[in-house]
Amino acid sequence: MTRILIVDDSPTEMYRFKEILSKHGYDVLEANNGADGVTLAQAEQPDLVLMDVVMPGVNGFQATRQIARGATTKHIPVVIVSTKDQDTDRVWGKRQGACDYLTKPIDENVLINVIKQHLTAG
């Protein structure tokens, strides 16, 4: 089963992502901050990571950079999912190694299509 790691500090967002992903047959791993997200990505080797940006401690940009450049995790696609929707945020997210950048509130079909696109690309 395809495993997706969700890194988000909002219980509401986490619940919504889990609901959508489970409905579409994905196995879900959870981390509620960037540091835990990086550690979990290294330990569990998920097929894809959904990364929030605004989190305490290690933010989503920093965690994305660590995953995208880590020797054991650089093959894992990271999709940033954030409320930050400025062009500069998108550019910065991609520079950190994100393969895509979606904004909240997320549309279920868009999310699933982007996930499928990056899973087949890898």
Q: Specify the pTM.
A: 0.97
Count of domains for the chain:
1
Q: Using CB atoms within 10 Å of the CB of residue 18, give its burial: 0 to 12 exposed, 13 to 18 middle, 19+ buried.
A: middle
- The boundaries of the domain holding residue 71 are 3-121
Phi, psi of 79 (to 5 degrees): -110, 120
pLDDT tens track for 70-80: 999 999 999 99
pLDDT tens track for 30-73: 999 999 999 999 999 999 999 999 999 999 999 999 999 999 99
